[in-house]
Amino acid sequence: MTYACDACGATYADDTLIWRCARCGGTIDLPVVPFGADDVDTGEAGVWRYARALPDVPGRDRIALGEVMTPLAPMPVGGAGLRLKVDFLFPSGSYKDRGSTVMLSRLRMLGATDVFDDSSGNAGASIAAYAAAGGLSCSILTPASASPAKLAQIEAYRAQLVKIDGDRAAVAQAAIERAEQATYASHVYQPLFIAGCATAGFEIWEQLGRRAPDSVTVAVGYGSQLLGLRRAFKGLLISGAIGRLPRLYAAQSASYPALQDAWARGADDVEPIVLGTSVAEGISCRMPARGRALLASLRESGGGAVTVTDAEIGVALRDLASAGYFVEPTAAASYAAYGKLAGSGVLRDGDVHVVVLSGSGLKAGAAVAGLIREAR
Ligand SMILES: [Zn+2]
């Protein structure tokens, strides 16, 4: 595989430790890999079943924590065709482990010993977990104001916390500067991370009897999950394993609607927007770095974007918990968005719809319980 720059088209061998275009600073991507039924490694239980669609990492070089396929489970009150992809059932409690096992395995194989990322949330925890499992030295850059509860899990994995004064943008700038000395294991910029996230799409396809669903709704902050799904379903489409793409829907916070706004305007790229705060920290993102690709994901699949308020997220948390699913607010945003799409007739009852539940409610148990109480 070869990396290609999204902006200027420059290409780079995939055995170099690179995270963005050296010529213009643009985001880089790996080509979509055709993938069909014969490509599944049935000897593997989870992420690595789809190794043929992933950057090459021999079995002995993989940093794995026994990942298995996450459930594709029913939601009794959401319509007969609704399935929940229970992607919070990963070792660190979020779907980010899909990206981390693939990215850190490959980076270590290429010689990385010292990695870092900028995230005080699920990505930071996940990368710290897999770095610990793989014997890599790991630092996580966070705003100095990040809440101790969010940092506890990262510290538990013995990652070094580097607190940066200023807002999220200041942290991102510090990360770019640090990339001179250590390997930037970025959940936003690294195509390896998105390649790992694609495995959710392959699992959904297998779990539906090797068929694509009619739609998938997923919460979008920086969008690695949406881009991963796009990558998987395009690979399946190219190989002929499916006949059409599922419609992909992005759930965004009403306070951080950069993608939804650009989609609604018919724009080619996103612009930063912040209209307030949100309980859904995982999608509190003023502007995703891969805006063009995210917009293309929505348009080429015939999907779209929906915003949800904190109050709607609270109701979704309540309804999911009432059915046995205890998730974090960001995960509930996807279910709230699905409810709006189904309620307005955009998604037909009787079709097969998937909602991805990205993170566990146990990460912020007291806060989630409080939001559910308020919604009752
Ligand atoms: Zn470039």
Beta strands 114-118; 183-184: pairing state: parallel
Cα 296 to Cα 194: distance, rounded to the nearest angstrom: 15
Backbone angles phi, psi at 328, to 5 degrees: -85, 165
pLDDT at 150 over 80: no
| Number of alpha carbons in the 13 Å side-chain half-sphere of residue 242 | 23
Residue 1: per-residue pLDDT: 86
Percent of the chain with pLDDT over 70: 100
pLDDT-derived band at 145, boundaries 50, 70, 90: confident
Ligand 1: centre distance to CA 138 (Å): 28
Ligand 1: centre distance to CA 4 (Å): 8
Give the closest residue to 368 by CA, choosing from 325, 307, 306, 335: 325
Give the closest residue to 10 by CA, choosing from 1, 291, 297, 25: 25
pLDDT at 123 over 80: yes
Q: Is the dihedral of CA 181, 184, 185, 191 positive or negative?
A: negative
Cα 322 to Cα 49: distance, rounded to the nearest angstrom: 33
Ligand 1: centre distance to CA 222 (Å): 20
Rg (CA), the chain: 19
| Number of alpha carbons in the 13 Å side-chain half-sphere of residue 126 | 31
Residue-wise pLDDT for 304-360, tens only, equals 999 999 999 999 999 999 999 999 999 999 999 999 999 999 999 889 999 999 999
pLDDT-derived band at 79, boundaries 50, 70, 90: confident
The end-to-end CA distance of the chain, in Å, is 51
Ligand 1: centre distance to CA 117 (Å): 22
Ligand 1: centre distance to CA 365 (Å): 43
Ligand 1: centre distance to CA 21 (Å): 5
Backbone angles phi, psi at 203, to 5 degrees: -65, -45
Ligand 1: centre distance to CA 11 (Å): 8
Q: Is the dihedral of CA 94, 290, 150, 153 positive or negative?
A: positive
Give me the DSSP letters along 52-100. GGS----GGG-------PPPEEE-TTS-TTEEEEETT-STTSBTHHHHH
On average, the pLDDT of the chain sits at: 95
| Number of alpha carbons in the 13 Å side-chain half-sphere of residue 317 | 30
Ligand 1: centre distance to CA 5 (Å): 5
Cα 57 to Cα 1: distance, rounded to the nearest angstrom: 13
